[in-house]
Amino acid sequence: MNANKRNRFIAVCVAAAVGLTLSGAASAQDKSTPLGGLEGGPTHRPWAEGISLKRQQDARQIFYKANELLVNQFFRQAAEKYREVLAVWDHPAVYYNLSLALMNLEQPVELYEALGQALRHGMPPLVNQANYDRAKKYHGLLEQQLAHIDIVCEEEGARVTLDGKLLFVSPGRYRRAILAGEHTIAATRAGFIADTRPIVLTPGKRQRFELTLYTLADLTQEKRRFPVWMPWLVTGGGVALTSLGGVLHSRSRTGFQTYDSDFGTRCTGGCADGDVPELSDQLDSAVWQQRAAYGMYMVGGLAMTGGLVLVFLNRPETIRREIPGVARPPGLTVVPVVGPGMTGINARVRF
């Protein structure tokens, strides 16, 4: 049996228990002796303050018709009539009689609220102590069978809903008894990420939920593997070494050309490099510069390649920011990843 069916079953049980007890009392009443008592009462009647005699008389006429419908077990029609009375005169006795009709309509939430309104001024407007005790007893019973929810949202202009039905436009608060079981609450506003939560409400328990809206910028941040300057420093170092290698290579080439020219001038009859010792330093310098240039080409090339790889790896990654008080639920989390020349998603599993 799911939560909604279980609560309907509870409501039926309550209705049966209360209905059997009160139906006899209802049938014993007539127009001159209404069930709740719009007539008379104590000298001080706060529930009648501000209600003119004309409005009181109009309310009584509708009240009598509602009582007739209730006695004849036309519960839905009786409930509608009692609501008409309440639009004229917000009287605790009307709520009491409305609760008698609601007990047979499987509407536990409205029944709970009607009984609460009936009890708000104590026993006097309910005719006798028995009616008051009975209303108090079953109000307490329903208190333990229904869940009590308190939803708060402070974001200006957000639409707050419960199971898809609008509760209020924030800032605001919603406190009410509702059926226990599974529900969905949500707060939405253009330009913000919706705060949508499936919730499970426990009978007899009061639960508070604070809905908070964040923009995408609030919930995400850019993260890099290294400081931004590091890959470019490595790349720049590689470029500098390669350039220096080019300078040395150019000098070594000039050195070889000068050595060849001088060697040809001094050795016209054909000889080897060692035959002209005064030119050996010039040859050694050209050879050293050439080897140094090749080494710088190699190291500089590796540095440039590595730096460019680091630049690629160090692209900004958009990740979810941890906000204090906002728990990340376990399971699969998917966040956008945005970088130069690419977009995608990043999926992570949390346990």
Cα–Cα–Cα angle for 294, 299, 300, rounded to 5 degrees: 95
Which residue has better confidence, 279 or 230? 230
The tokens of 228 are what? 């931004």
For residues 307 and 237, is the Cβ–Cβ distance under 8 A?
Answer: yes
For residues 312 and 306, is the Cβ–Cβ distance under 8 A?
Answer: no
Q: How many CA atoms lie within 13 A of 121 on its CB side?
A: 22
The tokens of 258 are what? 């000068």
Q: What is the distance between the alpha carbons of residues 286 and 243, in angstroms, rounded to a whole number? A: 18
State residue 189's pLDDT score: 92
Among residues 126, 100, 120, the alpha carbon closest in space to that of 14 is found at 100
The tokens of 187 are what? 């707060």
**CB count in 10 Å sphere of residue 351:** 4
For residues 149 and 176, is the Cβ–Cβ distance under 8 A?
Answer: yes
Whether 158 has a pLDDT exceeding 70, the answer reads: yes
Burial class (CB in 10 A: 0-12, 13-18, 19+), 81: buried
Q: Please spell the DSSP secondary structure of 323-351, one letter per residue.
A: -TT-PPPSEEEEEEEEETTEEEEEEEEE-
**pTM, to two decimals:** 0.57
Amino acid at 160: V
Mean pLDDT of 277-290: 79
Q: What is the distance between the alpha carbons of residues 303 and 150, in angstroms, rounded to a whole number? A: 62
Which range among 64-78, 113-127, 132-146, 274-288 shows the weakest confidence by mean pLDDT? Answer: 274-288
Distance between first and last Cα of the chain = 30
Give the H/E segment covering residue 197.
strand 195-201
Which range among 26-40, 108-122, 201-215, 264-278 shows the weakest confidence by mean pLDDT? Answer: 26-40
The tokens of 169 are what? 């436009």
* Strand, helix or coil for residue 154: coil
Share of the chain above pLDDT 90, in %: 35
Among residues 98, 144, 156, 93, the alpha carbon closest in space to that of 121 is found at 93
For residues 96 and 36, is the Cβ–Cβ distance under 8 A?
Answer: yes
Close Cβ partners of 234 (under 8 Å, ≥ 6 residues apart) = 303, 306, 307, 310
Mean pLDDT of 309-315: 84
Q: From residue 320, give the alpha-carbon distance in Å to each of 131, 197, 202, 228, 317.
A: 58, 18, 32, 20, 10
Partners of 151 in beta bridges = 174, 209
Any idea which residue has 């009061």 for tokens?
A: 206
* Strand, helix or coil for residue 271: coil
pLDDT band at 310 (very low <50, low <70, confident <90, very high): confident
Number of H helices, E strands in the chain: 9, 11
Instruction: State the chain's mean pLDDT as an integer.
Output: 78
Q: How many CA atoms lie within 13 A of 253 on its CB side?
A: 8
Whether 343 has a pLDDT exceeding 60, the answer reads: no
